[in-house]
Amino acid sequence: MKKRIAVLPGDGIGKEVVKGAIEILQAVAERFGHQFYFQYGKIGGEAIDAVGTPLPDETVELCKQSDAVLLGAVGGYKWERQPVHLRPERGLLKIRKDLNLFANLRPTNYYPSLAESSPLRNEVIEGVDMVMVRELTGGLYFGKPSERTKKNGEDAVVDTLFYQRKEMQRVIKLAFELAKTRKGKVTSVDKANVLESSRMWREVAEEVGKEYPEVVLEHMLVDNAAMQMIKKPKQFDVVVTENMFGDILSDEASVLTGSLGMLPSASLSQNGPYLYEPIHGSAPDIEGKNIANPIAMMLSAAMMLRLSFGMNEEAEAVEQAVNQVLDAGYRTPDIMSFAKKKVSTTEMVEEVKATL
């Protein structure tokens, strides 16, 4: 197959791990006889420095003309004090909106070889297999107004939590579709005892659920969900929730696996292209040291092969290679533990490539 892939390395370790993922994809192309065309675009701090905006139109156009988008990460100390419209993170929010990426999928799996780097007991996490589905283009992150204001002459502030019913429907439907192919359970997370938006969310979940009699629907309040995820994570299959609850819960869920450097994500739209990125950020504290864990980015590329290109065998080959390399004891510093073989970013990529 021939595929066009837009590559947005971004900043910091984003650049380092993207390089690794491309090498893996080239190895896949060679082994399975595909042709992947990589075209590079600017986003984040790099784009601000080059053209004065965190997401140039050219980058958006490039993405729209591609079959899939691979993104590293954006941000860094250099741009932290800039006015809001010149912050790298703006580029990320804008590309989600411009490509209409309404659902962010984050699988959380158990890695036996990493159990020792989890703060949780092995018996609690052994066999964990869940996917967080976070709504990505609505809620507090995009609601207007979002501004400083005054009340009775005193300083005040407002952020708006706004959703249309159809925005809830499409992401909840996607969660049910996913559950159908997995363990058949959807946990819808909300705060329906306090928020009107959550009461509508729960209503929509019930409605959509009626179309999927084979899937079990359960509602959970977000505060309880935060606790259950640590206490009994094995109870979850697909968890679906609105933007901000999902942001918080998916970082929490990452602890179940081990390191931030291990977890991939996929952001989906109605008609594509989808965007794939590791869940970690640009990690400016370790930038340029060749010690970042490239696995989250390589696994994001595997998700791309599966979800955007339907290349299941190819995706599995990458995932298996990663597992074998971990089983063989190779570790970047973030997942290093006693009596393992410490490797750099580039060495880890080499090991996975050789195993492939």
Q: Which residues are annotated as a binding site?
A: 76-89, 96, 106, 134, 223, 247, 251, 281-293
- For ligand ATP, the closer of residues 192 and 352 by Cβ is 352
Cα R_g (the chain), whole angstroms:
20
- For ligand ATP, the closer of residues 190 and 334 by Cβ is 334
Q: Minimum distance between the CB of residue 319 and ligand ATP, rounded to whole angstroms?
A: 17
Which residue of the set 141, 163, 276, 330 is catalytic? Answer: 141
State how far the Cα of 322 lies from the Cα of 348, in Å rounded to an integer: 9
The binding site for Mg(2+) comprises 223, 247, 251
Closest by CA to 140, choosing from 247, 4, 9, is: 247
Which residue of the set 237, 247, 274, 276 is catalytic? Answer: 247
Which residue of the set 15, 19, 129, 251 is catalytic? Answer: 251
**Residue sitting closest to ligand ATP (CB):** 281
Query: Which backbone phi and psi does 69 adopt, to 5 degrees?
Result: -125, 130
Q: Minimum distance between the CB of residue 156 and ligand ATP, rounded to whole angstroms?
A: 27
Q: Which residues are near ligand ATP by CB under 6 A?
A: 13, 73, 75, 260-261, 280-283, 285-286, 292-293, 296, 334
The binding site for substrate comprises 96, 106, 134, 223
- For ligand ATP, the closer of residues 9 and 75 by Cβ is 75
Provide the b/e sequence for 260-291 (b: ≥16 CB within 10 Å).
Answer: bbbbbbbbbbeebbbbbbbbbbbbbebbeeeb
DSSP 207-273: HHHHT-TTSEEEEEEHHHHHHHHHH-GGG-SEEEE-HHHHHHHHHHHHHHHS-GGG-EEEEE-SS--
Which residue of the set 64, 223, 341, 342 is catalytic? Answer: 223
Mark whether 251 is an active-site residue. yes
Q: Minimum distance between the CB of residue 321 and ligand ATP, rounded to whole angstroms?
A: 18
Mark whether 247 is an active-site residue. yes
245-249, long-range: CB < 8 A, 24+ apart: 245/134, 245/189, 245/190, 245/191, 246/104, 246/132, 246/133, 246/134, 246/135, 246/136, 246/189, 247/134, 249/132, 249/134, 249/189, 249/222, 249/225
Mark whether 191 is an active-site residue. yes
Which residue of the set 191, 274, 330, 334 is catalytic? Answer: 191
Q: Coil, strand, or helix at residue 61? A: helix
Q: Minimum distance between the CB of residue 265 and ligand ATP, rounded to whole angstroms?
A: 11
Q: Minimum distance between the CB of residue 172 and ligand ATP, rounded to whole angstroms?
A: 25
Length of the chain, please?
Answer: 356
- For ligand ATP, the closer of residues 13 and 217 by Cβ is 13
The binding site for NAD(+) comprises 76-89, 281-293
Number of Cβ within a 10 Å radius of residue 339? 5
- For ligand ATP, the closer of residues 282 and 300 by Cβ is 282
Which residues are part of the catalytic machinery? 141, 191, 223, 247, 251
